[in-house]
Amino acid sequence: MAMLDIQRRSATTTETPKARSLPQVAKLIDVSTCIGCKACQVACMEWNDLREEVGHNVGVYDNPADLSDQSWTVMRYAEVEENGKLEWLIRKDGCMHCADPGCLKACPSPGAIIQYTNGIVDFQQEHCIGCGYCVQGCPFNIPRISQKDNKAYKCTLCSDRVNVGQAPACVKTCPTGAIHFGTKEDMKDYAEERIADLKSRGYDKAGLYDPQGVGGTHVMYVLHHADQPTLYSALPNNPTISPTVELWKGVAKPLGLAGLGVVALGAFMHFIRRGRKVVTVENGHVHVENTADQRGAAVEAQAEEKVS
């Protein structure tokens, strides 16, 4: 992507080049029209040239069972009972592209995680050092680190396609039209229509999942039970960057650095004000003098002159 369009960059304390500002984009996943066909998983693998190792059936439809460096999106299937009926809630899991990304906040390597002005959060693997801090930073447990190259991977929102005016691969392929892509405003408007429709069909708690705890997300869900996101394979109710991560990557950084500076300066100031402690002997009695006092200075001067 063009380097003029960067909203935020990991481990960077000065302004990023953001002269050009792209419209905010979003992917809208309408859970109520998803049939769980996994075409999006296939399209993601195809476009990004990813090949998950053939695994095992773990007894449920989820396959592969979890996200990995080769599976940037997976369908998660939850069977729940709501209003006395069995409901099969299928959620396409993957990076939510937070407006306030915990991964980017936690990353120690400058430029390894970048947020473009259109809202896409992208990992730059060539700058990744493999520390795993992004995993600790993410409120949605999305990044996965490859066993092969120790780099972190996740959904790019097909930033390479979006850059040339294409919709992400999963959006392009979805046979029911459950995945939409456009400007964030358009996606919100479309979600309103879908929610109104769901409400008219008895889902009076239907709503949009665009959690404000992370500043909103650039991947949003239309949920039939927006009051209980956790029904959808543990989608967090109110995701936020963990307070320990906020503290560690927030005030602790500048305060810690300044604190060490104060200790060093304090030691230096002590030295120039009080000097060093030297031992003197007078009539067999041992004394300690400070070289910043007249007597101590005299002792030191004598010692130096003796040497030279």
Interacting residues with another protein (CB under 8 A): 11-13, 108-110, 127-133, 135-136, 141, 145, 147, 150, 242, 244-245, 247-248, 252-254, 256-257, 259-260, 263-264, 267, 270-271, 274, 276-279, 281, 284, 286-290, 292-293
Sign of torsion, CA 44 46 52 56?
positive
Return the number of the residue (196 or 257) whose C-beta is nearest another protein: 257
Return the number of the residue (88 or 271) whose C-beta is nearest another protein: 271
Return the number of the residue (94 or 296) whose C-beta is nearest another protein: 296
CB 264, min distance to another protein, A:
6
The Cα 79–Cα 94 span in angstroms is 20
Return the number of the residue (143 or 207) whose C-beta is nearest another protein: 143
CB 107, min distance to another protein, A:
10
Return the number of the residue (151 or 194) whose C-beta is nearest another protein: 151
Query: Which residues touch 178 (CB under 8 Å, ≥6 apart)?
Result: 29, 30, 31, 32, 33, 34, 35
CB 267, min distance to another protein, A:
4
Strands 219-223 and 25-30: parallel
CB 132, min distance to another protein, A:
5
The Cα 225–Cα 247 span in angstroms is 33
Instruction: Give the bridge partners for 183, in sequence order.
Output: 25
CB 220, min distance to another protein, A:
24
CB 85, min distance to another protein, A:
34
Return the number of the residue (10 or 118) whose C-beta is nearest another protein: 10
Q: State the CB neighbour count (10 A cutoff) for residue 250.
A: 13
Query: Which residues touch 63 (CB under 8 Å, ≥6 apart)?
Result: 38, 55, 57
Exposure of 231 in the CB half-sphere (CA atoms within 13 A)? 20
Spatial contact of 3 and 112, defined as CB atoms under 8 Å apart: no
